[in-house]
Amino acid sequence: LFINMNDGTNEGIRHKTKPFFSAQFHPEACSGPLDTEFIFDEFINML
């Protein structure tokens, strides 16, 4: 799902068939205010 730009490590995963995902960073602290907004939208839709 996400890859670190500095060292190429995995920063996020998503299950292929189940509604599971994770992000190993602070989505609200990324470069643009809307760049990772979809993460929060998906989380809210899963509730």
Which parts of the chain register pLDDT below 70? 1, 27-34
pLDDT for position 6: 87
| Cβ within 8 Å of residue 27, ≥6 positions away | 36, 39, 40
Q: Which domain holds residue 12?
A: 2-46
pLDDT for position 30: 55
Per cent of the chain over pLDDT 90 is 21
Overall number of domains in the chain:
1
